[in-house]
Structure 1
Amino acid sequence: MVTFITRPLTAIILFFVMIPALAANLQSRVDRQQMGSGETIELTVSLDKQVLFGEPDFSSVEKNFDIVGRNRRSRISFVNGEKQSYTQWILTLSPKRAGTLVIPSFNFKGEVSDALEIKVRKPTATTDPGAAVFTESILEKNSVYVQEQALLTLRLYTTLSLSNFSMSEISIPNAQVVKLAEEQYQKQIAGIDYIVVETRLAIFVDNSGEVSIPSVRYSGIASERSNPYGSIWSRRGGKRLAVNTEEKVLSVKPRAAHATMNDWLPAREVKLYDRWSEGKPTLTVGEPVTRTIALSAAGLTGAQLPPFSSNESVDRSEGFKVYDDQPQLEDKIGVQGITGTRVESMAIVPTQAGTLTLPEIRVQWWDTVNDQLRETVLASTSFEVLPSADITASQPGLPAAALTQENPATTPLSGSIAPAENSWLVIILAVTNGILILITAVFAVLWWRGRQLNDYGAETANKQALTGNKLFKEIRVAAASTNYSALREAIIQWARSHWRDQHIHTLEQIASQVNGIDLKPQFQQLDACLYDKHNGAITPPDLVTLVDQLEKIHKTTFPDDPLAGNNHSGKKQKTQELLPLYPE
């Protein structure tokens, strides 16, 4: 009987002894399990022993809560000779949304805590002007068109000093939200001094319908301000505070039914203007000039503005080439929101003299102030294109004195010659001698002029050869240094010498002079390198091919070009060719 009683008693004693060992050492608790959306709760995670290093992994908490504060404390004590210790981690949590949110369990040093459920009520806007802290939310217009700018102003009024101040972001599906400005100032309401934090936002909605603009949460640690006009960011101890703005509903209308333009541009004002690199320039064949056109729209971003230049119209005009630069987009922020600007630049290169007419540019847009269709026009403009300056300089001027026609010279006799009375022989001899002298003089003059012409021809040919060779050498030097501007000019100067045509002033004209060799692809690449920075490129192999092709053309006129490897001078060869004309 004694044995029967002893066994249950032993089991009971062992059970009570093991209870502390079975109890969870890692525990989680909160100060309350129901809260408002803008409030905070305090989570305490405890372990019944001292921890010198490390802590539980709290990253899983951030799925539903923001961790806005952290603290840690530990304690060691002796009670009735027994050592007692614990470590606590204290987190201040702010819910990310309303509803039932879960604080997950934690695993630390082999111990596991329990998960907790927190019920979060929907946010309530604090808009009472008599409160120590309240908010204000204002939409400039309750109804806008698709892609039209909607201005939202948010204000926080406070009589308290705030530290660790923050403001939540606004996120709206299918919409772009741009922060325009944030400022702080003082304002007195009903005899109470407030610090005001004002934030202005621009909202561009892509789809029509009713759009909900969510509330914004302001949070911080609040305390009474000793100075009513001091900064609200003063760092003093106090209670965590969170307030919300009022939710707004924005009505977004679809594109106006009778708006016929291709690009939908809802704006308050649209401007279109141009400028030139040299004022209003005088255009010259072969010389590029840059035209810059700017389109600005009040109430739109630069990214919303479409391409607008008239380059296609210019390209279809004969005698001109156009090279586009990359467009530049810019947004300026002002009192009435965003003013977007799109800037397009183009290099215009005339290829022939005459009249260049740039067509007008029209931009249609929707006037959101007067709710009607409008059109902004940049008027057409015309220019007279002058011939190349090199052509004008090469025209010879009038000689100082006009050349007179050569006539046979006659000299009047100063007196009469009395023939010999008795000698006709004297007369015959005189006449014969005169004729012989005249014939001899004529032949002498003809011989002298022929010699001069031959010498002049040889000298001229030699000078032309030397000039052509020198100009072609400049082509090689410019190509080797990849100086595209100098290369283009050297090719034009060489071509004028080669074809003896001072009216050549473009690479296109040179290409048309050549038979059997297609120079147009390389010439177009060379022009693109000069005037189209983003799309133009001529590779080194193409550059070598171009110079080789020009050298073949050069040799047809100057086969003894020393640049091509012949060491004989042109003058020596010409002299050898002329020797047979003058036999010994």
Structure 2
Amino acid sequence: MVKLCFRLLLVGLALLWQAQAATQLKASVDKNPAMYGEAIVLQLVLDEKVDAGVLDFAVLENDFRVSGPSVSQSMQIINGQSSQSTAWQLSLFPRRTGSLTIPAFTVGNISSAPINIEVQPASQSSGKGAELFLENSFSHEAVHVQQMLYYEIKIYFKGELQRGNLSQPELAGAEVEQVGKDVENSEIVNGERYQTITRRYSVVPQKSGNLTLNAPFFNGEMIDRDNSRYDYFARTKAVSAEGEPLTLTVNAIPDGQQHHWLPSELVALTEEWSPSSQQLVQGEPVTRTITLTALDLADHQLPDLTLGTVNGAKIYPEQPQSHKAERKGRIVAQKVFSYAIIADKSGTLTMPEVQVHWWNTKTNQPDVAVLPAVILQVSPNPQQSDNSVSAAPEQRVSTVAAEPVSDWYFSYSSWLLLVLWLGTVAMWLLQQWYQRPPTVELPVADSAVRFNPRKLKQACQQNDGVQAREQLLRWAQQLIDPQITTLSDILPHLPDGALKSQIQQLSYQGYQAAGKTWQGHGLLEAWAHFQHQPAQTPAGLAPLYPGR
């Protein structure tokens, strides 16, 4: 028995020594040399079971666009001997041609061997014969500060595209926002038909100078026609394409523009009256609605209008309403101003003209949108006391003499009826109070759909963009506007600053290249800073921490 135990111990030690001696980290690629624009699959296999995050692939970002990794672990028992392994798989897209190096990776005291990759130029980057390519362009090569332009990316592909990811354009010193939804179509290029997907962005530069937009990059999966053979479970292959980097020239605001800076191709003023008649009645209100419409401008860029004081009338403005919409790939913004106007005397009432100064981007000259002056006729109100002035002296005397009697009689009767009515109401309330059933105070459930600042903080600390987006939308819907459905809807309600910028970056996260993780520390810092500066909060915007 002792001998058997000793033998088993020796076998166990031998197996353990073999496992330790055999532990290694292998690195391999599916192709070498590779062609620029195609994916290189890198696989790393360690014959141990370790944590998936033990390897840091950030060192690859300088030479490659990285998608992944996907991680798998396995264990096998063969003839009583067990083995375990951990495998990482990534898709690498070379950033340039030439000789590139995949460096060695290390786990503990075990390292993989570096791999030298030769990346050759693509034989055809676009046009006839290419399976997939991109085209990207600006609508204007030169604009002024705060002048909106459009950036368009069009993906051309042949075959069946299963899935894909398009990098989000990032332009330092400019606001970038997607316009509308992706548009699918088809085009004939060099005698071959391609399917197309077009994505369009609005770009509003905030500073002058030359701004460079990095090249867009697309990677995805397409049905492999060579291997599918009409199989229902057809295989897919990785595909990718890259556009061109673009440079935008942004000019400063021209000298002498003292008015509200409004660069656009079209700015117009329109008005409506309710009732629509040009004949007013003294003392009766009418509503004047003025709509300011501008092309290629954000709604928050539109200025306010001021009618001022008008002799012979009182004007009561309402809160302006702003909105924007997409029309055939372009942004149309409107601001609606409503005024209640009450003429306080009969005769002629003149409403002065309304002007909005703007910069015409077509003529590259200043321009003015004008709403002409309006002349209204105000007729006397027969129900007002003005008619008593023209009455005969005897009639006016008798009216004045009769007024104290009728007023006293009316007041006395009114007070008597009011006392009787109040007594009846009091008796009814007392009866209801005696007859009501006892109330049971139910516990208030902690609703999971309410905004939770702790969850937002936790999401930022854990770099959880999905949870952070969800909490920000709940906050905005409950404290700003229930109609808010996207992060972009929140931006017009926030002042310019770090919080607005961070929320904008989070809204773009869905278009980031695969494998690029959102970092929440910037949003958390901006959020905390925003909370300690209540003076910067725009009117009507509730704080992120209500009650603090």
Normalised TM-score (structure 2) = 0.59
Matched, 1:201 2:194: no
Which segment drifts farther, 285-294 or 211-220? 285-294
Name 2:530's counterpart in structure 1: none
Which residue among 323, 330, 334 is the counterpart of 1:337?
Answer: 330
Show the 5 A alignment for 1:290-301.
290-301=287-298
The CA distance in 2 between the partners of 1:365 and 1:390, in whole Å, is 46
| Displacement of 1:167 | 1.1
Quick one: structure 1 residues 213 and 277, their matched pair in 2 at CA, closer, same or farther if it must change by over 3 Å?
same
* Structure 2 gaps, min length 5: 1-12, 227-231, 421-538, 540-548
| Displacement of 1:97 | 7.8
Name 1:577's counterpart in structure 2: none
| Displacement of 1:140 | 2.6
Name 1:377's counterpart in structure 2: 370
Matched, 1:391 2:384: yes
The CA distance in 2 between the partners of 1:155 and 1:334, in whole Å, is 19
Name 2:431's counterpart in structure 1: none
Greater RCO (Cα-Cα under 8 Å, separation 6 or more):
2
The question of whether the paired residues in 1 share the 8 Å contact of 2:296 and 2:331 is answered with yes
Quick one: structure 1 residues 37 and 286, their matched pair in 2 at CA, closer, same or farther if it must change by over 3 Å?
farther
Q: State the Cα deviation string for residues 401-457 of structure 1 (Å, max 9, x = none).
A: x99xxxxxxxxxxxxxxxxxxxxxxxxxxxxxxxxxxxxxxxxxxxxxxxxx9xxx9
Secondary structure of 2:383's aligned partner = helix
Q: State the Cα deviation string for residues 19-47 of structure 1 (Å, max 9, x = none).
A: 64655847463528998996545454545
Name 1:497's counterpart in structure 2: none
Quick one: structure 1 residues 265 and 296, their matched pair in 2 at CA, closer, same or farther if it must change by over 3 Å?
same
Which residue among 306, 309, 317 is the counterpart of 1:310?
Answer: 306
Name 1:76's counterpart in structure 2: 76
Which residue among 339, 359, 382 is the counterpart of 1:366?
Answer: 359
Matched, 1:279 2:276: yes
Name 2:526's counterpart in structure 1: none
The question of whether the paired residues in 2 share the 8 Å contact of 1:329 and 1:343 is answered with yes
Name 2:244's counterpart in structure 1: 246
Which residue among 30, 52, 56 is the counterpart of 2:52?
Answer: 56
Matched, 1:131 2:124: no
Quick one: structure 1 residues 113 and 24, their matched pair in 2 at CA, closer, same or farther if it must change by over 3 Å?
farther
The CA distance in 1 between the partners of 2:346 and 2:20, in whole Å, is 102
The CA distance in 2 between the partners of 1:476 and 1:381, in whole Å, is 51
The CA distance in 2 between the partners of 1:473 and 1:296, in whole Å, is 57
The CA distance in 1 between the partners of 2:419 and 2:339, in whole Å, is 30
The CA distance in 1 between the partners of 2:55 and 2:288, in whole Å, is 57
Name 2:253's counterpart in structure 1: 255
The CA distance in 2 between the partners of 1:460 and 1:321, in whole Å, is 30
Show the 5 A alignment for 1:177-576.
177-181=176-180, 182-224=182-224, 236-257=234-255, 259-307=256-304, 309-311=305-307, 313-314=308-309, 317-335=310-328, 337-391=330-384, 463-469=406-412
The CA distance in 1 between the partners of 2:222 and 2:300, in whole Å, is 42
Quick one: structure 1 residues 378 and 398, their matched pair in 2 at CA, closer, same or farther if it must change by over 3 Å?
closer
The count of residues paired between Structure 1 and Structure 2 equals: 390
User: Which residue identity does 1:339 align to in structure 2?
Assistant: V
Name 1:151's counterpart in structure 2: 150
User: Which residue identity does 1:176 align to in structure 2?
Assistant: E
Secondary structure of 1:242's aligned partner = strand
| Displacement of 1:129 | 4.2
The CA distance in 1 between the partners of 2:351 and 2:293, in whole Å, is 21
Name 1:419's counterpart in structure 2: none
Show the 5 A alignment for 1:106-125.
114=111
Secondary structure of 2:410's aligned partner = helix
Q: State the Cα deviation string for residues 518-555 of structure 1 (Å, max 9, x = none).
A: xxxxxxxxxxxxxxxxx9xxxxxxxxxxxxxxxxxxxx
Secondary structure of 1:345's aligned partner = strand
The CA distance in 2 between the partners of 1:475 and 1:60, in whole Å, is 82
Normalised TM-score (structure 1) = 0.55
The CA distance in 1 between the partners of 2:25 and 2:285, in whole Å, is 80
Quick one: structure 1 residues 185 and 91, their matched pair in 2 at CA, closer, same or farther if it must change by over 3 Å?
same
The CA distance in 1 between the partners of 2:406 and 2:326, in whole Å, is 67
The question of whether the paired residues in 2 share the 8 Å contact of 1:26 and 1:112 is answered with no
- From the CA coordinates, give the structure whose radius of gyration is larger: 1
Cα RMSD after superposing both structures:
4.7
Which segment drifts farther, 154-163 or 68-77? 68-77
Quick one: structure 1 residues 122 and 97, their matched pair in 2 at CA, closer, same or farther if it must change by over 3 Å?
farther
The CA distance in 1 between the partners of 2:56 and 2:156, in whole Å, is 35
* Structure 1 gaps, min length 5: 1-14, 227-233, 404-452, 478-534, 536-584
Secondary structure of 1:466's aligned partner = helix
The CA distance in 2 between the partners of 1:36 and 1:321, in whole Å, is 75
The question of whether the paired residues in 2 share the 8 Å contact of 1:42 and 1:90 is answered with no
Which segment drifts farther, 84-93 or 36-45? 36-45
The CA distance in 2 between the partners of 1:390 and 1:118, in whole Å, is 96
The question of whether the paired residues in 2 share the 8 Å contact of 1:143 and 1:251 is answered with yes
The question of whether the paired residues in 1 share the 8 Å contact of 2:187 and 2:196 is answered with yes
The CA distance in 2 between the partners of 1:267 and 1:33, in whole Å, is 52
Secondary structure of 1:160's aligned partner = coil
The question of whether the paired residues in 2 share the 8 Å contact of 1:27 and 1:113 is answered with yes
The CA distance in 1 between the partners of 2:416 and 2:382, in whole Å, is 23
Name 1:161's counterpart in structure 2: 160
Quick one: structure 1 residues 252 and 102, their matched pair in 2 at CA, closer, same or farther if it must change by over 3 Å?
farther
Q: State the Cα deviation string for residues 283-323 of structure 1 (Å, max 9, x = none).
A: 3344332211111122222221111x233x22xx3553322
Quick one: structure 1 residues 472 and 134, their matched pair in 2 at CA, closer, same or farther if it must change by over 3 Å?
farther
Quick one: structure 1 residues 36 and 190, their matched pair in 2 at CA, closer, same or farther if it must change by over 3 Å?
closer
The question of whether the paired residues in 2 share the 8 Å contact of 1:323 and 1:348 is answered with yes
The question of whether the paired residues in 1 share the 8 Å contact of 2:46 and 2:85 is answered with yes
Quick one: structure 1 residues 275 and 58, their matched pair in 2 at CA, closer, same or farther if it must change by over 3 Å?
farther
Quick one: structure 1 residues 62 and 300, their matched pair in 2 at CA, closer, same or farther if it must change by over 3 Å?
same
Name 1:140's counterpart in structure 2: 139
The CA distance in 2 between the partners of 1:239 and 1:170, in whole Å, is 25
The question of whether the paired residues in 1 share the 8 Å contact of 2:127 and 2:190 is answered with no
The CA distance in 1 between the partners of 2:141 and 2:39, in whole Å, is 33
The CA distance in 2 between the partners of 1:294 and 1:392, in whole Å, is 37
Secondary structure of 1:241's aligned partner = strand
| Displacement of 1:135 | 1.6
Matched, 1:90 2:88: yes
Name 2:467's counterpart in structure 1: none
The question of whether the paired residues in 1 share the 8 Å contact of 2:166 and 2:216 is answered with yes
Secondary structure of 2:384's aligned partner = helix
